[in-house]
Amino acid sequence: MSRVLIAGCGYVGSALADRLIEAGHEVWGLRRSAARLPQGVKPIYANLNELDSLEGLPSPLDYVIYSAGASGFDEAAYRRVYVDGAVKLLEAMRRQGITPKRFLYTSSTGVYAQQDGSWVDENSPTEPTNFSGEILLEGEALVLEAEFSSVIVRLGGIYGPGRTRLVDAVRDGSARINEGAPHYLNLNHRDDCAAALEHLMTLEKADSIYLAVDSYPVDRSELLRWTAERMGLPEPESIPAPTTPRARQGGNKRCKKERLLATGFKHAYPSYKEGYAPILDNSKS
């Protein structure tokens, strides 16, 4: 049994906590508020941006997973979480003499700025042209400089139970298909995100960076058409592709995750079809 801290025990962190509890690990979940944590998780109510609130962390810890998410899409919100919060947690750990076997930091495929639909992997250039990617890279770098083993996990677009924005947009008719060249999405079901973190947590020998996405980068228009067809609804209206910088901010690339697969990891939801099917089925009831 290992002692594990999940800093930012939210959407993905809670799913990870469920898996770890079931596997027999002792798990602490750190959150700002007294929101409900999965059964069996020991709560730590603290603010990652307030060093004093991080006093008294459980010690020793075998593994720490930093899975906090920004509260908004602006530079200040991103910096508070992905840089400042990580800095303060690492400092709190140093002050308390906590040296885990491994520290996992959840980043994003947003660090890649490729716009031509090209394939990228862990060795591809990361040259973001927006604040979000730049801040994520800054956070990655500071974590990799820590005095213990650290692993960066670049997650794709996360979906799953309770995250039905795309489904809702198709249902209410607000979804729009963009005309023109494909615009690829790199998705990952919440449960596969949690499974990948659990897998990499205890992997005997790990690389420093992994992409964690499903096996099928999908054109956004294909995803919308498939969703509408599965729901028995008309195909969403087609409109000219957006050209504003904000619309292109997520880039347009296809992510490969051979490095993760080479470790023996297997997806429960290898493509959007397996992942969205139960969500759509549940939405009908």
Hunting for tokens 């910088």 — which residue is that?
245
Please write the tens of the pLDDT for every residue from 24-82: 999 999 998 877 899 999 999 999 999 999 999 999 999 999 999 998 899 999 999 99
Please write the tens of the pLDDT for every residue from 183-203: 999 999 999 999 999 999 999
Q: Which residues contact 14 (CB under 8 A, 6 or more apart)?
A: 29, 37, 38, 41
Would you list the domain boundaries of the chain?
A: 3-163+187-217+254-268
pLDDT value of position 284: 62
Where is pLDDT greater, at 166 or 137?
Answer: 137
pLDDT value of position 281: 86
Please write the tens of the pLDDT for every residue from 94-116: 999 999 999 999 999 999 999 99
Mean pLDDT of 130-157: 96
Hunting for tokens 């995803």 — which residue is that?
223
Which of 126-140, 151-165, 242-256 is predicted with the least confidence, judged by mean pLDDT? 242-256
Q: Which residues contact 41 (CB under 8 A, 6 or more apart)?
A: 6, 9, 14, 17, 21, 27, 28, 29
pLDDT value of position 248: 47
pLDDT value of position 243: 58
pLDDT value of position 245: 45
Q: Name the CATH topology of 3-163+187-217+254-268.
A: Rossmann fold (3.40.50)
Please write the tens of the pLDDT for every residue from 252-283: 999 999 999 999 999 999 999 999 999 998 76
pLDDT value of position 247: 43
pLDDT value of position 104: 98
Please write the tens of the pLDDT for every residue from 217-254: 999 999 999 999 999 999 999 988 765 544 445 679 99
pLDDT value of position 235: 95
pLDDT value of position 250: 61
